[in-house]
A and B are shown apart, each in its own frame.
Chain A
Amino acid sequence: MKSFIAFWNILIKDMKNYYLKPPNISWGIIFPFAWMLMMFIKAGKTFDIIDVFAGIVAMCILFGTTSMLSVTITFERKSRSFERLLLAPLKIELLVIAKISGAMLFGIFNSIIPILISVLYFKAPVSSWLFLTTGVILLSAISTLLGLFISVTAKEVFEAQTYSNFFRFPMIFLCGLFVPIKALPSFIQPLSYILPVTYGVDVLRYSINGSNHLPLFLDITILVTFCIFLFYFSIFNIKRRWIP
């Protein structure tokens, strides 16, 4: 019960202090519109929503969560308020889960806007709402954990932002969002398969129109494995770097 009180209050504090601030809410709304506009300009007159639906949802989650978590944790480390959490009688695992939960919820919120626009306005089909939800949650989790991984490495807020971009931009082009993996040069294709986002996008594609190119079970297994690996690797790094 005591642990739950601590967990809940860390989550609420992060939501109030960081994620529910007007600039972040507006980011969550404007960002999907910006991507759709980009698609519209790229396609000339119109575009097929099915081609871009998964991509926009994935981008909104990836860009929202990785930068938010890495920046907030680095900021808290810099202002030493993170130290207060480390001084509390809480397991580091619980503390990290509380921190990433806020960012995950933010990622899920970011995905709702493009989903609503795509489904309600562009009449995009969704063949499986269950797997769309699963894909969104897993992509939020993996993006958040990538953000955590970055925050453990960065010392300054600007470093966290730089590292986030270092991870995110290659992912856009390599994970099959806008360029199919098979269309990539053969020597680059293996890189696509070591990126967790590739599997998240594949789950989203399945849930929209079944156009996935890997078995769904494999996608989910790989994503869960990535999540567990990144979580424990980050815990290991936190203990090593932040408790010197």
Chain B
Amino acid sequence: MGPGIIKNENAGMKMFKDMKTVEERILNSFYHFRWKLPIIQSDNVVMEDEVEKECQIKKVEKIIEVVNLTKKFGEFTAVNNISFYVNRGELFGLLGPNGAGKTTTINMLVGLAKITDGKIFYKGEDLTQNIKKAQKFIGVVPDESNLYEEMTGYENLCFCGSLYGLSKKVRKSKSIELLELFGLSDVANKKFKEYSKGMKRKLTIAAALIHEPEILFMDEPTTGIDVASARQIRNLIKDLHRKGTTIFLTTHYIEEAERLCDRVAFINKGEIIKIDTVPNLIEQTRESYIVEISFEESPIEKIRQLLDKLNQQFNDIKCFIKNQTTIKVISNNKINISPVINFVSKEGFFIIEAKLIKPTLEDAFVKFTGVEIDMMKKEKEKK
């Protein structure tokens, strides 16, 4: 083993020790040796092989890798130089407000939008110019159901199977299987236009699974449907994830991302602000003190004015709107809440409760992006 190799190995080991979890160590060492370090010949190959082997055991493989991806529509930059990867079997969430660039990112990844700049790798292969090749092993659930209104649920599934070249026998049996799995057997022969929104969304997911894709892209899968259907869909997503399907999910429901995702990327104004595992993101907010102040429902404009005043009056706190009855006060230091409460009260708000809360992914999102959650939900619902 030559000195140069020892040096590189030491650098690698230092980085290795700094990593928090075993999985992260393996992942990062794999990434480090494969992409960052100069190619090292001879003895070190053994170590690289060992790392790769270990990665295989842990089933850590970058199934999607996006490098410096950019999308411009004329002068407007919808997605600005974003990079991330998704591991095989992972449930990766892209979380951001309306217009953040989530759908544009998915569209580029699945071949519905051209790429202005950057690269997309699927299973390590650069498919930037040939997304059609990736379409064989990806399934897409768009934000709005896009099946044929005049066809029955069963016909829609069979037709979608035929688009991937499945034989008649296979697509028939797969369609029946999926209709059963999604609890749609009873309405299999009903026209798609007669389905409820929840049923439509379930059939759209089923249609995306007909060719057994390795990666499933889901764009806002629970938006605009009733609570019960949304819960069912979340359970289906969990099941698919458990069975090993890689899922790329975009959502503006933070609780959904928190409950489902392994890793989450916060995206806003076309840029990725932060990527990490859900526990790590929450952990980074843990140093913060968060107080939730609840009051009787007030007009949003009035609350906005209050926030402006609060942020001006108190230098060491940052306030955000949660909804029309609650604001969140975040600080890196212990909060002396009495003056804040007095101030809010003097501004004409009837305070019901003030409590110190444990940070959630929502707090991490607010901290890193500065986006108001309530506004984000309302904008989406309006859309």
Residues of A within 8 A of B (CB): 1-3, 5-6, 8-10, 13, 17, 79-81, 83-91, 243-244
Contact = CB atoms under 8 A, between A and B. Distances in A.
B27 to A, nearest CB: 30
B165 A86 contact: no
A42 to B, nearest CB: 39
Contacts of A91: 132
Interface of B: 73, 110-114, 132-133, 135-136, 140, 142, 144, 146-151, 159-160, 162-167, 207
A76 to B, nearest CB: 8
Nearest to B110: A87
Main secondary structure of the interface of B (DSSP, over half): loop
A243 B150 CA distance: 25
B160 A84 contact: yes
Contacts of A86: 111-112
Contacts of A8: 162
Contacts of B151: 13, 17
A80 B103 CA distance: 15
A17 B165 CA distance: 20
21 contacts: A3-B165, A6-B162, A8-B162, A9-B159, A13-B159, A17-B148, A79-B149, A80-B142, A80-B146, A81-B147, A81-B148, A81-B149, A84-B146, A84-B147, A84-B163, A84-B207, A87-B112, A88-B135, A89-B133, A90-B163, A243-B114
Contacts of B73: 244
A85 B163 contact: yes
A27 B114 CA distance: 40
Given A9-B159, A89-B135, A2 B114 contact: no
A106 B298 CA distance: 61
A215 to B, nearest CB: 42
Given A87-B111, A244-B114, A6 B163 contact: yes
A81 B160 CA distance: 11
In the A-B complex, the 3 residue pairs with the smallest Cβ-Cβ separation, listed nearest first, are A2-B165, A9-B162, A88-B163
B34 to A, nearest CB: 28
A79 B147 CA distance: 8
Contacts, number: 67
Interface centre among B110, B132, B133 (most CB of A within 10 A): B132
Nearest to B140: A87
Nearest to B133: A89
A89 B114 contact: no
A86 B110 CA distance: 10
B204 to A, nearest CB: 9
Given A3-B165, A81-B146, 20 more contacts: A5-B167, A6-B164, A8-B162, A9-B159, A9-B162, A9-B163, A79-B149, A80-B142, A81-B148, A81-B149, A84-B146, A84-B160, A84-B163, A86-B112, A87-B140, A88-B135, A88-B164, A89-B135, A243-B112, A244-B114
A5 B140 contact: no
A165 to B, nearest CB: 26
Nearest to B138: A87
Contacts of B160: 84
Nearest to A87: B140
Contacts of B166: 5
Given A2-B164, A17-B150, A89-B164, A83 B112 contact: yes
A91 B163 CA distance: 11
A89 B111 CA distance: 10
Contacts of B112: 83, 86-87, 243
A83 B146 contact: yes
A89 B148 contact: no
A121 to B, nearest CB: 36
A17 B207 CA distance: 19
A81 B136 CA distance: 18
